[in-house]
Amino acid sequence: MNGVILRWSVPTCTTINAQYYKKVLQDKLRPAIRKNRPGLLESGILFHHDNAPAHTAQAVTDVLAGYKWKLLEHPRYSPDFAPGDFHLFPKMKEHLRGQRFQTEEDIIQATKVAIKNLDKCSYVTAFKDRLQRIEKGANNGGCYVE
């Protein structure tokens, strides 16, 4: 809720499989947490990712178990939990609206700036909204709630 820890752009033509995802967790995310949020690794990580095969593969679950991060269960699919509904994406798109980009690198840089310009309140609102949607879905048997 305190902002972005890591922005990572997947290289073009890269297949995201368990080995790739595991390497990003080990070589990118964990060091970024250590650098950007000193002490967080020791105090405990609450971690959420979806149920993509690369995320649920044994190699990845073994790494996360070794980290002792608490994994949030990902609810079954519902339009209420779709990434497009996630509060941060519309906020980020406000900064990008109306711009044209010549290269992929231009898009990546503009996205980094847009994310960097989000205030702390946006992150808090995003995560509170996400938790409320998940709770509504859980209390409603996973059915559409909005």
Distance of alpha carbon 125 from alpha carbon 56, whole angstroms:
28
The pLDDT of residue 108 is above 60: yes
Would the pLDDT of 25 be above 90? yes
Q: Which of 22, 33, 10, 26 is nearest to 61 (CA)?
A: 22
pLDDT in tens, 57-78: 999 999 999 998 888 776 666 6
pLDDT of residue 129: 77
- Whole-model pTM: value is 0.65
